[in-house]
Structure 1
Amino acid sequence: MDTSKTSKHFWGFPLTHFSYFFIWATIYGYLTLWMENVGHLNGMQSGLVFSMMAGISLIFQPFFGMISDKLLFKKTLILSIAIAAIFIGPYFQWAFLPLMRLNSLLVAIVTGIFLSFVLNGGVSVIEQYIQRASLANGFEYSHSRLGGSLAGIVASLVAGRLFLWQPNSIFWLCSMAAVLLVGLLLFSDKINLANAAAAGDTSNSLDMSLVRSVFKNANFWILSIFYMGAAAIFDVFDQQFIIFFKTFFTHAGDGTLVYSYMTSGQTIIEFLLMFPMPFIINKIGSRNGLIIYGFLTCVRILGSALAPSWGWVVGFRLLAGLEMPLLLTSIMKYIAGAFDIRLYATVYALASNFAKQISVFIFSAVAGKLYDQIGYQHTYIMMGVVVFVITLFAAFFLRKEDPVQAGEVSSNVQQE
C-alpha cells in the first residue's frame, strides 16, 4: 500500500474518536449525579434509565451491524447518530424534567431510546467505521483510538468543573462535541476509495443469507462466549469496585482520594500503551492478544480478592491500563482476520456488544446478590475462576486469524 497517499487521511479520525468519546465519558461520568441532584430521581428511577439504555441497545445493535456492513463507507447511519447527539443539550435542558413530572417510566423509556441510539447502540457504528477506514487508509486503529482515551482524561477535568458551575452545561458541552463530530464526518474523515476493497465488498451485495451464515460459524459462538465470560466480567468487576476498595481504609474519604489518583494513573497508562500496542499485537497475533487479555483479567480479579493491603489492590488495578489497549486492538484485528470482512460490523456488534450487554445484565444481578451474601473477596474469586475457565476454553478452540486480512502483516511480507 502506498502510505504516502493515505497518511493525509489519518488525523481526522483521532478527532472523531475524541469528540464521540468525550460525549460518552461525560454522560457516563455525570448522568447519575445529574439525575440525583437536578432531576431528583431516586436510585431505582436512575437505575431504570440505565437499564433501558442497555436493554434498548440490544435491539439497535444487530440492526446497526447489518446496516453498517451494507453501507460500508457511506455515512448515512453514522451521521444520523452524530446529528442526534447534538440534541443532548436541548433534551436534558427542556424535555427530561417535564417528562419526569408526567411519568418516571416514560422518561426512562424516552431517555433509553435516545441515549442507546447515540451511545450504547451507536458505539459499534463509530468503532467499526474507523476500523474499516484504518484498513483502507493504511493506519493503525489503536492510534486513532488514542483520541478516545484522551477524551476520557479531558472530560474528567473539564466536565466536573462545569458541573459544579452549572449542571446542565455538561449536556450542552456534549452538543458542542457532537457539532464537531458532524463537521469531521462531513469534511475531514476521508477514505482512500482506491483501497476500499481492503475493508469489505464495495458492491453493496450483502444479503440476509450471508448474514445468517454468521450464526452457523462455530468460531463466532466461541468468540461470543469468550466476550461474555471475560470482557463482560471485566465490566461487572469494576461496577462496585470503589466500594470494595474503600474497605481497606479507616476513613472513606481517604479511599475515595486514592481511588481517584489510581483511576487517573490507569487512564494515563492506557493512553500511553495505545501507541505501541498495534506493533505488539502484530508480533504476537490478535488471537494471542485476546487470550493474554483474558488471563490478565483473571490475574487482576484474583489478585484484588487476595490482596493483603490497598497498595496491592492499586497494583492489580493498574493492570487495567494494559488490558483495555490489549482488548481494543486485538478484537478489531481479530474480527477482520478471522471472519468474512463483509460481515465485520455484524460480527462486531453481535459477538462484542450484543453478547457482552446480555452477560453484563445477568452477571450484574448475580454479583450484586453475592456481594451481600458472601462478600466481595469470595465473589471476586468466583469471577476470577469463571474468567480463567472461559479463557482456557478460548485458548483451545478460538480459531487463528489470517494475519494479512487482519492487517498484522502485509501481503508482500507473507509472500517473502
Structure 2
Amino acid sequence: MDNAQNNAPQKHRSKDFWGFPVTHFSYFFTWAIVFGYLTLWLEQQAHFNGVEAGMVFSMMSGISLIFQPIFGIISDRLVMKKNLVITIAAAMILIGPYFQWLFKPLLGVNSMFAAIITGIYLSFVLNGGVSVIEQYVQRASLTNGFEYGHSRMGGSLAGAVAALVGGRLFLWSPNSIFWACTVAAIVLTCCFVFSDKIHWDNVAAAGEDTSNKLDVKQIGSIFKLRNFWILSLFYMGTSAIYDVFDQQFIIFFKSFFHAAAQGTLAYSYMTSAQTALEFLLMIPMPWIINKIGSRNGLICYGVILTIRIIGSALVPSLPFIIILRLLAGLEMPLLLVSIMKYIAGAFDLRLYATVYALSSNFAKQISVFFFSSFAGKLYDQIGFQHTYLILGIIVGVVTLICAFTLTKEDPVQAGEVKEAKN
C-alpha cells in the first residue's frame, strides 16, 4: 500500500508540474527586481545615503520578524490550502502603485516613517512571504512527486530575466521596474487561483494528517533542539551576510566605471549571466545533493560564499569581481536545494514550515536587521573593500563552526535516497 501511494504522484508528474515553475518565476522576478534595484532607486530617486538605504532594508528585515513565526504556524495548519499564498500574491500587485504614488509623499512626512511603512509592506510580500511561497512549493513537490529544485529553476530564470530587463527599464524610467513587479504579481495570483494543481489523495506526504493538532507545546519543542539553533546560526552567519553583501553591491560595481549608466547596464548583463548559470545548475543540483548529502551542500555553500566576499575585498579588479559574482550562480542552487532537503531529513516534517520560517528566515532576518545598518555605516566610513573583508571573515568562521556541529540528515527522509524495498 505504501509503495502504491509513493508511486501515485509519479503518474501525474508531467501533467501537474509546470504551473509551479511559473509560480516561482513570477514571484522571484519581483524579488530580483526589488533587491537588485531598490538601493539604486533609493540613491537616485529618493537621494538616500548608505545609512538611510541600510535603514530601509533593516526595517524590512525587522518587521518580517513579526511575520515569520506567524506565517510558519499558519502554513503548517493550512498545509496545501491556498489562502495565505493568494493573499501574499494579491498584495504584491500593489508594488507599482506604492512606489509610483505613495513612497515620496510618505518621504515628505519623515524618512523614518517612510522606511517603516515600506518595511511593513515589503516584509509582508517578500521577507516574510518568501518562506510561505517556498514551503508551499516544497510540500507540493512531496504530494505531486517532483523535485523541488526543478520547480525552483523558474526562480533562477526569473533572476536572469529581471537582471536583463531591469537595467533597461530603470534607465528608461526608474519607476517602471516596480510596475513590472505588478505585472508579475498578477501572473502569480492567476497561477495560485487557476493552476498549481495539488494531488489531494497524497496530501498526507506534506503533513496534512497532523496539521490540525499543532499546539504551543509542539511548536515550543523546536526551541529545545540543539540542531535548530545550529541551523539558525548558519543562516545568520552566511545567508544573511549574502543579502547584506548584495544590498549595495551595485554601487560598488558601478565604481569601476566612469559613466553611471554604463555601470548599470554592465551590472544588468553580469547578473543575467549569473542567474543563467544558476538556472542551468538547478538541473543537475538535486542529483548532486542526493550524492553528497544536503548537510555537505550547506557547508559547500558557506565555503564558496566566504571565497566570493573575501575575494571581492582583496582583489578589486573588474574582471575578477565579475568572476566572483558569477560564483553566486553556484551558491544559490547549492543553498536552495540543500536547505529544503536538509530540513525534511533532519526535523519533523509535520513542523516543516515552522522550522523553515524560524531557522531559515526569522533568524536570518534578525541578522540582516542588525548587519544592514552596521554595513551601511561601514560602507560610508571605511569603504566597500574593508567592509567586505569583515563580512567574509564572519561567514568563514560561522561555516567552520557549523561544519563540525550540524547534525547529519536522514537521507531517506530527506529524499536523497529511496527507501529499500522489502
Do both share a fold (TM > 0.5)?
yes
**Equivalence map 1:64-83=2 (5 Å):** 64-83=71-90
Residue in 1 aligned with 2:333?
Answer: 325
**Equivalence map 1:162-173=2 (5 Å):** 162-173=169-180
Query: Could you say if the C-alpha distance between residues 233 and 33 of structure 1 is closer, same or farther in structure 2, counting changes exceeding 3 Å?
Result: closer
CA contact (8 A) 1:20 1:178 kept: yes
**What is the aligned counterpart of 2:306 among 298, 322, 333?**
298
**Equivalence map 1:220-235=2 (5 Å):** 220-235=228-243
Distance 1:181 1:353 in 2: 22
CA contact (8 A) 1:9 1:137 kept: yes
CA contact (8 A) 1:6 1:192 kept: no
Residue in 1 aligned with 2:368?
Answer: 360
Distance 1:46 1:370 in 2: 13
Query: Could you say if the C-alpha distance between residues 259 and 25 of structure 1 is closer, same or farther in structure 2, counting changes exceeding 3 Å?
Result: closer
Distance 2:88 2:112 in 1: 24
CA contact (8 A) 2:57 2:372 kept: no
Query: Could you say if the C-alpha distance between residues 241 and 214 of structure 1 is closer, same or farther in structure 2, counting changes exceeding 3 Å?
Result: same
Q: Does 1:10 align with 2:17?
A: yes
Q: C-alpha root-mean-square deviation of aligned residues, in Å? A: 2.7
Distance 2:124 2:298 in 1: 28
**What is the aligned counterpart of 2:418 among 379, 398, 410?**
410
TM-score by length of 2: 0.88
CA contact (8 A) 2:160 2:274 kept: no
Letter in 1 for 2:279: F
Residue in 1 aligned with 2:203?
Answer: 196
Residue in 2 aligned with 1:109?
Answer: 116
Distance 2:298 2:249 in 1: 23
| Stretch moving more, 14-23 or 370-379 | 370-379
Distance 2:144 2:82 in 1: 16
Residue in 2 aligned with 1:277?
Answer: 285
**What is the aligned counterpart of 1:185 among 192, 204, 211?**
192
**What is the aligned counterpart of 2:406 among 361, 383, 398?**
398
Q: Does 1:140 align with 2:147?
A: yes
Letter in 2 for 1:326: L
Query: Could you say if the C-alpha distance between residues 397 and 12 of structure 1 is closer, same or farther in structure 2, counting changes exceeding 3 Å?
Result: same
| Stretch moving more, 68-77 or 101-110 | 101-110
Query: Could you say if the C-alpha distance between residues 217 and 279 of structure 1 is closer, same or farther in structure 2, counting changes exceeding 3 Å?
Result: same
TM-score by length of 1: 0.89
Letter in 1 for 2:273: G
Distance 1:30 1:241 in 2: 10
Residue in 1 aligned with 2:3?
Answer: none
Residue in 1 aligned with 2:225?
Answer: 217
CA contact (8 A) 1:135 1:407 kept: no
Q: Which runs of 5+ in 2 are unaligned?
A: 1-5
CA contact (8 A) 1:72 1:202 kept: no
Distance 2:179 2:375 in 1: 35
Question: Could you report, residue by residue, the CA deviation over 1:97-125 in whole angstroms, capped at 9, with x for unpaired residues?
Answer: 44444444443333322221111111110
Shift of 1:376: 4.7
Letter in 2 for 1:238: D
Shift of 1:256: 6.0
Shift of 1:260: 4.4
Shift of 1:74: 1.0
CA contact (8 A) 2:25 2:158 kept: yes
Residue in 2 aligned with 1:266?
Answer: 274
**What is the aligned counterpart of 1:56 among 63, 83, 86?**
63
Distance 1:96 1:377 in 2: 32
Letter in 2 for 1:116: S
Distance 1:75 1:7 in 2: 21
Query: Could you say if the C-alpha distance between residues 259 and 118 of structure 1 is closer, same or farther in structure 2, counting changes exceeding 3 Å?
Result: closer
CA contact (8 A) 2:39 2:247 kept: no
Query: Could you say if the C-alpha distance between residues 100 and 188 of structure 1 is closer, same or farther in structure 2, counting changes exceeding 3 Å?
Result: same
CA contact (8 A) 1:7 1:138 kept: no
Shift of 1:252: 6.3
Question: Could you report, residue by residue, the CA deviation over 1:264-309 in whole angstroms, capped at 9, with x for unpaired residues?
Answer: 3222211111111011001111011011111122222333333374
